[in-house]
Amino acid sequence: MNKLLILLFLIISGCDTGKLIVIADLPKTLNEVSGTEITPNTNLIWMLNDSGNKAKIYAVNKKGKIEKELKINAKNNDWEDLTSDKHGNLYIGDFGNNLNKRKNLAILKVNNQSLNSSNNVDIERISFSYPNQTKFPPKKKNMHFDCEAFFHFNDNLYLFTKSRVKDDYGKTSLYKIPAKPGHHIAEFISSFNSCDKLSCWITSADISDDEKTIALLSPKSVMIFSNFIADDFFSGTVDQYDFSLDSQKEGVCFKDAKTLFITDEKAHGEGGNLYKFSLN
């Protein structure tokens, strides 16, 4: 279908969200939490911190207590998000790229058996590059190669970039790479722009268990995409839920089809919590 025709079907609607419900105050260890994910058949929530922190992932219960922490045998260059597949394998997005000059972008696969380990955990490395980046860094007007959001779907990993371009902060581009070790050139699929402000840049993503809905998080809102065509997630309907709380929201995952878990960093006395957010 012609891209312009697809865009005609895009519906953006504002929704009355009510409030984020705090369900736990996260420990200081997770003050810079940047990724949040639930794996199948568990009540624990996996979390990680971004660059400057230890190369560890943390299993947290619904009260915010850390039940387990695993040392990952890889460097935390700039870990930004977590996702999982249907087999319970975790994927760490080491693709934070504030200056748009990294050449070692990677996703680290943690096998599900390792999540029960008490020792250091080895990973499988999935490295990638963007097909349309030729300069490291590019000119300021082309700083579209940061990334903080991804999820697993149909044996691929889908990345949503974060714009560093002034007056174009809400632009995100969707790419995919195979969820298998090796080096891959990411395949561009499409782009979406929510607004031009800093509060609109994309900081996390997730797909529902039934694979019919995706969530894109920003500091100001969560956007829910549905009725999309194949894996062009921007081709359908989007509902935007604005938050009443201003904080540095960095992690989102589906608890169930109508409920999200959201986390934010602790900054200036605000945030550092695990929230429940209803889409009803």
In this prediction, residues 23-41 reach a mean pLDDT of 95
Give the model's confidence band at 18: pLDDT under 50 very low, under 70 low, under 90 confident, else very high: low
Instruction: Identify the pLDDT of residue 33.
Output: 97
Q: Could you give the domains of the chain?
A: 23-207+249-278 (2.40.10.500)
Location of structure tokens 């609607």: 13
pLDDT at residue 243 tops 80: yes
Amino acid at 111: N
Residue 60 has pLDDT above 70, yes or no: yes
Kindly report, residue by residue over 96-119, the tens digit of the pLDDT. 999 999 999 999 999 999 999 888
The whole-number pLDDT of residue 145 equals 98
Q: What is the percent of the chain with per-residue pLDDT over 70, rounded to a whole number? A: 94
pLDDT digits (tens, 9 = 90+) for 172-231: 999 999 999 999 999 999 999 988 999 999 999 999 999 999 999 999 999 999 999 999
Cα-based angle 275, 277, 280 (whole degrees, multiple of 5): 165
Distance CA 59, CA 176 (A): 27
Predicted local distance difference test score (pLDDT) of residue 280: 84
The token pair that represents 109 in the structure block: 């696969």
Q: With 70 as the cut, is the pLDDT of residue 242 above it?
A: yes
- Measuring CA to CA, which residue among 246, 244, 211 is closest to residue 225? 211
- The three-class DSSP label of residue 249 is strand
With a cut of 90, say whether residue 6 has pLDDT above it. no
| 8 A C-beta contact, residue 241 and residue 222 | yes
